[in-house]
Chains A and B, each alone.
Chain A
Amino acid sequence: MAHARTTIRQAFVDTLKGHTVSGDKVFDSRMYNIDESSLPSIIIFSNNEEILTSTITVPRLQTRTLKITVECYGKATNQVNKLMDDLTVEVEQLLYNSEALKKLCKDCKLESVEMHLNSNGDKPVALASLIFAVLYLTKENNPTMNI
């Protein structure tokens, strides 16, 4: 079985895929660059997780705070920042209302948004990075199962 972290990250992908202006261009942990025909697009990463043990007796209960980064990429000559703002509206609303995420985790909240604009190429590129803190529980002997 997959780690609970994988299941949560996949739930992010499934929630966003086909429901924003990015269409089906939503990727799980894509590491290679994106060509123009694939923009706008979204990539989901899970980069960091903090774990606190909440019980003494083994197997201990683990309270995990997973940081999920939703990277939204866009490229446009006109108002690329507006394109990103519109895309983040869709992302925030979809994730807040996701029934799948509500079943998988105790809490999921948006912690920060960072915007980057880059004019080095043939058209301006914008990146919006939304960082979500996802709280979920596991037992230390079975990290595949959310409690």
Chain B
Amino acid sequence: MPFQEDFSQFLDIGSGFASEALITPAIGDPYKVKGIISNEYSDIDEGMAGVAGSTPYFECAEKDVAGIEYDDFLQVKGIDYRIKGIKPDGSGWMVLILEAQE
């Protein structure tokens, strides 16, 4: 039987870790999902100087985003993102790689 973690403590908005995001799929109705948004600094190594950037991603329970597709939109904390990576880790946890929208 595969190991399944209980993520409810991680996804408790009241304890301050998680936020509520709105996912807008290409087909179907928008839906809300709880997860953790991260946006750490990163160097984008291009040219002789390089560019300062960040790597936004959203972590949540895989079952909450079962129908997620590339290019679906995710809004969290007032910022719009496009989903450009879908990375389930096999334990029921999902990492969505995001691209900020202008």
Which residues does A use to contact B, with CB under 8 Å? 30-36, 39, 43, 45, 69, 71, 73, 75-78, 116, 118-125, 127, 129
Contact = CB atoms under 8 A, between A and B. Distances in A.
Given A118-B44, A119-B84, A71 B54 contact: no
Given A121-B44, A122-B39, A122-B55, A71 B99 contact: no
Given A32-B49, A45-B48, A73-B51, A123 B99 contact: yes
A129 B84 CA distance: 27
B85 to A, nearest CB: 10
A111 to B, nearest CB: 17
Nearest to B50: A33
Interface of B is mostly: strand
28 contacts: A30-B49, A33-B50, A33-B51, A34-B50, A34-B51, A45-B48, A69-B48, A71-B47, A71-B48, A73-B49, A73-B51, A75-B51, A77-B82, A77-B102, A78-B102, A116-B46, A116-B47, A120-B55, A121-B44, A122-B54, A122-B55, A122-B56, A122-B100, A123-B100, A124-B99, A125-B46, A125-B51, A125-B53
